Every structure is written in structure tokens, then in C-alpha cells.
């Protein structure tokens, strides 16, 4: 299956939902141009309260469209951008990527995956029960966070729906993603 971008979204304010856009520009070292989470240092409000000088490892939020499909099948009416993601993909197991995997989006942009997004209670403001629906358990009983991955921009460029996504696997030992 081809791996593609199905939607791109941004919000200049700290709202959970982000508006779908025809194109977003990723800026190396900063994130999505014009998005509230753009910057060298962390922008997530709770993280800023703890330490405003920590590096921003959450510049770009990516969710797989297959999660939206799963949620809709469970009765949650969700659309791209509504869960706070900047880039929605299809055909790639984002949750199965290792730390340091690089996603080539479109012709120029590259996002390095830093970790998992932990579902938060804000999701229940979108739809009651949505947070719980974004958490599961694997066969061994370990928690599975389904709310996508976070990354940093290592090469800037424009990203549009329909753009191809290519994975560049990190060299050496592959470490499983952890929440960031």
C-alpha cells in the first residue's frame, strides 16, 4: 500500500482541534509555520509550566487515518485535525516506528519521530469517551497509546494532502517509542 498524507492541519492558538489546510510549511528546528506549537522550546502548556526551556520534541503531531477509521467504527465521529494533529497519514504504522525514524513528507520535508503522544483528557471535550478509546492493551497487557506520534522537523518544506510518505529507518539498535 502507498503511504500518503491525507490531511494537513494547523492552529495559531492553543486549541485542541486544528483546521485543515490545503498546505502547511514545515520549518526545520521549529515545526509547522503559524502553529501554536512551533518553536525551539516546548509549547505544550503543561510542559511550559514545568520547564519552559526544555527542547520542543513535539513540533509536529502525526496521526494515522486508520485510527480515525477505528474510532468511527466505534461510534466516534472524528475528522482529520480534530484530535490536534498536524499531519494525517494513511498506509504507515506510525505507532510501530522506532525512535529516530524519519518520515519524508512530500518533496522536501523530513520529520524525525521522537515519541508517542499520550492521549489526554482534552480528547473527551471532542467526544466523551474518546480518550479511553485512544488507549488499549496489547496481548501482554501493556498499555498501547494510539493517539499518534510526535516529531521534530529536520528538513523544511511544504506538505499537502496526497503527498507521498517514505520512512527512513534509523541506523543501529531500534528503540521502541515512548511518550514525549
- Does some domain include residue 164? yes
Predicted confidence band of residue 127 (pLDDT cuts 50, 70, 90)? very high
- Does some domain include residue 154? yes
107 Cβ contact list (under 8 Å, min separation 6): 157, 158, 163
- Does some domain include residue 179? no
- Does some domain include residue 98? yes
Read off the pTM: 0.96
Query: Which residues span the domain enclosing 122?
Result: 4-168
Nearest alpha-carbon partner for 152 in 45, 37, 8? 37
- Does some domain include residue 99? yes
* The pLDDT of residue 19 is above 70: yes
CA distances from residue 170 to 112, 173, 180 in whole angstroms, order as listed: 10, 8, 18
* The pLDDT of residue 102 is above 80: yes
The average pLDDT across 129-146 equals 95
Q: What's the confidence (pLDDT) of residue 1?
A: 64
**Pairing of the two strands 149-155 and 60-64:** antiparallel
Domain count, the chain: 1
- Does some domain include residue 20? yes
Which residue has 466523551 as its cell numbers? 128
- Does some domain include residue 175? no
In our burial notation (b when 16+ CB lie closer than 10 A, e otherwise), range 114-123 reads bbbbebeeeb
| Residue-wise pLDDT tens digits, 48-101 | 889 999 999 999 999 999 999 999 999 999 999 999 999 999 999 999 999 999
| Residue-wise pLDDT tens digits, 107-122 | 999 999 999 999 999 9
* The pLDDT of residue 176 is above 70: yes
Q: What is the CATH number of the domain that holds 129?
A: 2.40.33.20
Alpha-carbon distance of 142 to 38, in angstroms, equals 32
- Does some domain include residue 178? no
Q: What is the dihedral of CA 14, 64, 70, 36, to 10 degrees?
A: 0
Q: What's the confidence (pLDDT) of residue 128?
A: 96
| Residue-wise pLDDT tens digits, 73-83 | 999 999 999 99
Amino acid at each position: 500500500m502507498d503511504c500518503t498524507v491525507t490531511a494537513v492541519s494547523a492552529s495559531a492558538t492553543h486549541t485542541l482541534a486544528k483546521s485543515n489546510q490545503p498546505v502547511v510549511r514545515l520549518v526545520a528546528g521549529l515545526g509547522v509555520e503559524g502553529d501554536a506549537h512551533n518553536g525551539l522550546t516546548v509549547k505544550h502548556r503543561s510542559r511550559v509550566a514545568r520547564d519552559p526551556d526544555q527542547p520542543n520534541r513535539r513540533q509536529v503531531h502525526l496521526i494515522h487515518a486508520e485510527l480515525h477509521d477505528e474510532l468511527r467504527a466505534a461510534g466516534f465521529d472524528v475528522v482529520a485535525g480534530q484530535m490536534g494533529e498536524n499531519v494525517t497519514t494513511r498506509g504507515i504504522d506510525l505507532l510501530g516506528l522506532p525512535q529516530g525514524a524519519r518520515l519524508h513528507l512530500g518533496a522536501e520535508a523530513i520529520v524525525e519521530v521522537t515519541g508517542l503522544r499520550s492521549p489526554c483528557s482534552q480528547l473527551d471535550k471532542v467526544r466523551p469517551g474518546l480518550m479511553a478509546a485512544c488507549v488499549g492493551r496489547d496481548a501482554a497487557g501493556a498499555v498501547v497509546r494510539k493517539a499518534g506520534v510526535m516529531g521534530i522537523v529536520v528538513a523544511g518544506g511544504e506538505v499537502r494532502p496526497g503527498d507521498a510518505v517514505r520512512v527512513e529507518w534509523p541506523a543501529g539498535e531500534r528503540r521502541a517509542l515512548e511518550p514525549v
